[in-house]
C-alpha cells in the first residue's frame, strides 16, 4: 500500500498524458520532476475573485470583481493592426462599458445574454464608467435569472505560480489542477490523527486541494495553516530524531569531579578578577550538569556581545581537565583563536594546566611537537582554528569540544571534531549572534540552548549616532578627545576587494594612510584587513591590544569577538553597507569596559531600509531586539546570508510571520516524542515519509 502510493507520487511528470517531454523539461527548471513536486509547488499568491461588487458600487481606479450580463454582441474596431473590442455589461444595479485592446479573439468568448465574472480596473467619469482589459470567467446562469451577487456562493481565488520562460500561468495552473484532481483524494495522511485533532488541522487532501484552489479566504487559511504547521513540525521532528539517534548510539565521558578537584575548581573561580554574573553562573551550572551525564552534551550557549561567554567556556574546560580529560576550543579566525588562547590562559593561570594554541600559522616543527603532546595527553587544552579539524589532530582523551561563533562553521562541521564513532566528547557551541528564539528552535533543533541574558555590571549603553560626510571634522575631534583620555578608536570600512573596488567606498588602507598623514599625524594609526598576511595581522592586533596603536582602521575582520576593553569609540564608514546584525556585532567591539563608549554610523544614503537599520541601532543595544528587527526587515532567508545557516528551505512557512505555529508545532513534536499523543505504527510510517520530504531527502533514502 505504502509502496504503491509512494510510487504514484514519485512518478515523473513526463509520464503524465497532458505533459509533453518538452514541457517536462521546462518544469524541471522550476525543480519539478515528480507528481509530488507538482503537488508541492504551492502558489506564491492568489488573484482574489471572492469579493463581488455591484456595478453601481464600483469605485474609480480600483481592481474589482463584478458579475454581469453581456447585453450585446461585442463590436470590433480596427486601427491598422490594433483593435478595440467593446460591449456593455449590466447587472440589476447598473451598466458599465467593457473595453479590450488588441484581444479581438474575445469576440467569440463573450456571448450575448450570458453572465460572467469580470475582474479589472474601473475608470469613472461622471455617470460614465468603463472597465479596461478585464479578465473574465463564464458563469452557468440561466438567461432569465436576475443577477444576485449576494446569493452567489460559487466563488474562487485563482492561484498564481512562479513561472519560468516558456511556461505560462495557464499551463502551470492546468498541470497542477490535473494532478490535484487526480490524486488529491487519495494522498497519504502524513500528520497523525492525534496531532490534527489537538491543533484542529484539516486533513491532507483538503489542504492540497484548497491551497491550490481555495474556495474562499477561510478555506485558504485552513489549508495554509495545516501545511505550514506540517512543514515546521516535520523539520523539527526530523532534527530531534537525529539527535535522539545520536544520544542512543553514542556515549560520552562522565565528568565528575573529585573532592580535591572541586576545591581546585573553586579556587580558580575565586581567582578570577571579577564575580560571574547570575546568568553566567546559571549557564555554567547547566553545562556542568550536562558534563556529568554519559550522554554527549550538545548545547548552544547564546549571549549577546560582551556578555562574557569566554569565561564560562574556560571554566567548563577546566572542569573537564580536572577530571583528567582534554578540552578543545575552536574559533573561526586566527585572530580570535589567539585571543581566546590568551584569555583562557590568563583566566586559568593558577590552575597548572597545559594550554596550547594551534593555527594555520603554527610552524611545522612546533606543530609536530604540539600534536605529539596532544596525542600523549600532555596538553590539556588545545585552542585553535579549523586546523583543529584536521585528521592529524588526535586527542588522547577529548572530553569537551567548544566551538565559537558556530554559524560560521556550518552544521556539518560541528560533528566533525569527533572522530571516534561511538564515543563522542561533549560539545558546546557559543554564539554571539543573537538568534531570535524562533530561528534558534529550528536551526538548533538538535541542541539544548542556554542563554546568558545579562551583561556584567557597570557596563554602559553605547551611545550611537548617525552622521554625514559634513560632520567628519567633528567626528575626528571626538576621536581625538577619546584618545587624549587614554582610550582607543576603531574605524571600520566596508570590505572592498581590490578588483571591483567602487570609488565611493572608503577603502581601509587608503583611509588609514590619509588619517596617519593628515589629521592624526601625531597618533599611531594601524590597519587590518582580511587579505593581510597573518603575521602582520597578528602584529597590528597586538599593538592595538597593547595600547600602542591609537586608531585601528579595519574591515569586518574585527567583527567577531575581538576584545579590547580600552577601545571606546567606533566610526563605521558607509554604514549602509552593513547588515543590522553585522553592525551590532561591530559595535560590540566597544563598550566592553566601564567607560562610556560612542559609535558613529557615517552614511550619505537617504530614507530606506538602510536608514531604518541605523535608526534601530541608535535606539537599542539589545541584540535580541536587533535580531528580531533584522529578521523583520530582511526576512529569514537573508538572516545569515543564505548559505551559511544550513536551514532547510521552507516552501510555505515564514519564520517571522508564523512564529505562533512554530511554537505550537514545537509543542507537538515534544508531545509526540514523549508519547503523550498517540501515533499508530501506520501513522509513523507516513510521518517518516513526511519528514523525508520536508528535510529535502528523497523518500526511501537511508539517511533518516
Residue 105 interface partner, choices ligand ADP, Mg ion, none, CB cut-off 5-8 Å depending on type:
none
**CA distance readout (Å), 18 to 175, 177, 222, 303:** 8, 11, 30, 56
Q: How far is the CB of 522 from ligand ADP (least distance, A)?
A: 29
- Interface of this chain with Mg ion, residues 561 to 600, rule: CB under 5 A: 561
Nearer to ligand ADP, 280 or 338 (CB): 280
What's the grid cell of residue 573? 564608514
Helix 681-694, helix 2-10: angle, nearest 10: 20
Nearer to Mg ion, 26 or 400 (CB): 400
Q: How far is the CB of 568 from ligand ADP (least distance, A)?
A: 13
Nearer to ligand ADP, 308 or 445 (CB): 308
Q: How far is the CB of 620 from ligand ADP (least distance, A)?
A: 17
CA nearest to 401, candidates 381, 375, 386: 381
Nearer to ligand ADP, 273 or 606 (CB): 273
Residue number with the smallest Cβ distance to Mg ion: 561
CB atoms within 10 A of CB 196: 18
Residue 425 interface partner, choices Mg ion, ligand ADP, none, CB cut-off 5-8 Å depending on type:
none
Contact 312, 432 (CB under 8 A): no
Nearer to Mg ion, 561 or 648 (CB): 561
Q: How far is the CB of 313 from ligand ADP (least distance, A)?
A: 8
Cell 590597519 sits on residue: 527
Residue 277 interface partner, choices ligand ADP, Mg ion, none, CB cut-off 5-8 Å depending on type:
ligand ADP
Binding mask 529-568 for Mg ion (x = CB under 5 A): --------------------------------x-------
Residue 274 interface partner, choices ligand ADP, Mg ion, none, CB cut-off 5-8 Å depending on type:
ligand ADP
Residue 305 interface partner, choices Mg ion, ligand ADP, none, CB cut-off 5-8 Å depending on type:
ligand ADP
Contact 452, 512 (CB under 8 A): no
| DSSP letter (8 states) at residue 498 | S
Nearer to ligand ADP, 296 or 561 (CB): 561
Q: How far is the CB of 217 from ligand ADP (least distance, A)?
A: 47
Q: How far is the CB of 260 from ligand ADP (least distance, A)?
A: 26
Residue 23 interface partner, choices Mg ion, ligand ADP, none, CB cut-off 5-8 Å depending on type:
none
Q: How far is the CB of 433 from Mg ion (least distance, A)?
A: 11
Nearer to ligand ADP, 430 or 447 (CB): 430
Residue number with the smallest Cβ distance to ligand ADP: 308
Q: Which long-range contacts link 527-531 to residues 24+ away (Cβ below 8 Å)? A: 527/552, 527/553, 527/554, 528/552, 528/553, 528/554, 528/555, 528/557, 528/558, 529/495, 529/554, 529/555, 529/557, 530/495, 530/555, 530/557, 531/498
Task: State how far the Cα of 452 lies from the Cα of 280, in Å rounded to an integer.
Answer: 6
DSSP per-residue letters across 46-73 = EEE---B--GGG--TT-EEEEEEEE-SP
Q: How far is the CB of 287 from Mg ion (least distance, A)?
A: 16
Q: How far is the CB of 344 from ligand ADP (least distance, A)?
A: 10
Residue numbers of the site for ligand ADP (CB under 6 A)? 274, 276-277, 280, 303, 305-311, 432, 456, 561, 563, 565, 592
Task: State how far the Cα of 63 lies from the Cα of 83, in Å rounded to an integer.
Answer: 23
Q: What per-residue string of b and e applies to 489-524 under the rule 16 or more CB within 10 Å gives b?
A: bbbbbbbbeeeeeeeeebbbbebbeebbeebbeebb
Element (H, E) at 492: strand 488-492
User: Which residues here bind Mg ion, judged by CB under 5 A?
Assistant: 561
Amino acid at each position: 500500500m505504502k509502496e504503491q502510493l509512494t510510487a504514484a507520487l514519485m512518478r515523473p511528470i513526463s509520464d503524465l498524458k497532458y505533459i509533453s517531454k518538452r514541457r517536462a523539461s521546462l518544469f524541471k527548471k522550476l525543480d519539478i520532476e515528480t507528481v509530488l513536486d507538482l503537488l508541492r509547488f504551492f502558489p506564491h499568491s492568489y488573484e482574489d475573485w471572492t469579493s463581488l461588487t455591484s456595478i453601481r458600487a464600483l469605485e474609480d481606479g480600483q481592481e474589482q470583481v463584478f458579475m454581469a450580463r453581456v447585453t450585446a454582441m461585442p463590436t470590433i474596431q480596427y486601427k491598422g493592426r490594433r483593435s478595440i473590442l467593446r460591449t456593455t455589461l449590466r447587472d440589476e444595479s447598473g451598466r458599465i462599458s467593457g473595453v479590450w485592446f488588441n484581444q479581438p479573439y474575445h469576440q467569440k468568448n463573450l456571448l450575448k445574454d450570458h453572465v460572467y465574472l469580470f475582474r479589472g480596473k474601473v475608470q469613472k467619469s461622471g455617470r460614465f464608467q468603463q472597465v479596461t482589459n478585464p479578465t473574465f470567467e463564464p458563469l452557468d446562469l440561466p438567461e432569465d435569472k436576475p443577477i444576485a451577487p449576494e446569493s452567489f456562493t460559487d466563488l474562487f481565488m485563482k492561484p498564481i505560480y512562479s513561472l519560468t520562460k516558456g511556461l505560462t500561468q495557464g499551463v502551470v495552473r492546468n498541470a497542477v489542477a490535473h494532478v490535484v484532481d487526480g490524486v488529491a483524494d487519495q494522498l497519504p495522511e502524513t500528520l497523525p490523527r492525534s496531532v490534527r485533532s489537538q491543533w484542529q488541522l484539516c486533513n491532507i487532501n483538503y489542504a492540497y486541494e484548497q491551497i491550490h484552489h481555495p474556495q474562499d479566504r477561510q478555506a485558504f487559511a485552513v489549508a495554509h495553516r495545516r501545511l505550514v504547521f506540517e512543514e515546521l513540525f516535520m523539520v523539527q521532528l526530523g532534527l530531534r530524531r537525529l539527535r535522539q539517534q545520536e544520544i542512543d548510539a553514542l556515549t560520552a565521558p562522565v565528568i565528575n569531579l573529585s573532592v580535591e578537584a572541586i576545591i581546585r575548581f573553586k579556587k580558580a573561580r575565586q581567582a578570577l578578577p571579577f564575580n560571574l554574573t547570575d546568568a553566567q553562573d546559571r549557564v555554567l551550572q547547566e553545562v556542568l550538569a550536562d558534563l556529568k551525564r554519559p550522554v554527549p552534551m550538545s548545547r548552544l550557549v547564546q549571549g549577546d556581545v560582551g556578555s562574557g561567554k569566554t569565561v564560562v567556556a574556560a571554566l567548563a574546560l577546566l572542569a573537564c581537565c580536572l577530571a583528567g580529560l582534554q578540552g578543545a576550543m575552536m574559533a573561526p579566525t586566527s585572530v580570535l583563536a589567539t585571543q581566546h588562547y590568551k584569555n583562557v590562559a590568563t583566566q586559568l593561570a593558577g590552575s597548572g594546566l597545559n594550554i596550547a594554541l594551534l593555527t594555520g600559522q603554527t610552524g611545522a616543527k612546533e606543530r609536530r611537537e604540539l600534536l605529539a603532546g596532544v596525542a600523549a595527553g600532555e596538553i590539556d587544552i588545545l585552542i585553535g582554528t579549523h586546523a583543529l579539524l584536521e585528521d592529524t589532530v588526535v586527542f588522547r582523551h577529548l572530553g569537551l569540544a567548544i566551538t565559537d561563533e558556530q554559524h560560521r562553521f556550518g552544521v556539518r562541521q560541528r560533528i566533525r571534531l569527533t572522530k571516534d564513532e561511538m564515543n563522542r566528547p561533549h560539545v558546546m557551541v557559543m554564539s554571539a549572534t543573537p538568534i531570535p528564539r524562533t530561528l534558534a528552535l529550528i536551526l538548533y533543533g538538535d541542541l539544548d540552548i542556554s542563554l546568558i541574558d545579562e551583561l556584567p555590571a557597570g557596563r554602559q549603553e553605547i551611545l550611537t549616532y548617525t552622521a554625514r560626510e559634513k560632520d567628519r571634522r567633528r567626528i575626528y575631534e571626538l576621536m581625538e578627545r577619546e584618545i587624549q583620555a587614554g582610550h582607543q578608536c576603531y574605524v571600520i570600512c566596508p570590505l572592498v576587494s581590490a578588483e571591483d573596488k567602487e570609488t565611493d567606498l572608503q577603502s581601509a588602507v587608503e583611509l588609514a594612510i590619509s588619517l596617519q598623514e593628515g589629521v592624526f599625524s601625531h597618533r599611531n594609526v594601524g590597519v587590518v584587513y582580511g587579505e593581510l598576511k597573518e603575521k602582520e595581522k597578528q602584529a597590528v592586533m597586538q599593538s592595538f591590544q597593547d595600547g600602542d596603536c591609537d586608531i585601528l582602521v579595519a574591515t569586518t575582520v574585527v567583527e567577531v569577538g575581538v576584545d579590547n576593553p580600552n577601545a571606546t569609540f567606533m566610526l563605521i564608514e558607509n554604514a549602509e553597507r552593513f547588515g543590522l546584525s553585522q553592525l551590532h556585532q561591530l559595535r560590540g567591539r566597544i563598550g566592553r569596559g566601564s567607560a562610556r563608549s560612542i559609535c558613529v554610523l557615517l552614511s550619505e544614503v537617504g530614507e530606506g531600509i538602510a536608514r531604518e537599520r541605523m535608526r534601530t541601532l541608535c535606539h537599542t543595544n539589545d541584540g535580541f531586539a536587533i535580531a528580531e528587527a533584522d529578521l523583520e526587515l530582511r526576512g529569514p532567508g537573508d538572516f545569515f546570508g543564505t548559505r551559511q545557516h544550513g536551514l532547510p528551505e521552507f516552501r510555505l512557512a515564514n519564520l517571522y510571520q508564523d512564529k505562533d505555529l512554530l511554537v505550537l508545532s514545537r509543542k507537538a513534536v515534544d508531545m509526540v516524542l514523549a508519547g503523550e499523543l498517540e501515533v499508530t505504527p501506520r501513522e509513523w510510517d507516513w510521518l517518516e515519509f513526511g519528514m523525508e520530504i520536508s528535510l529535502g531527502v528523497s523518500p526511501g533514502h537511508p539517511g533518516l
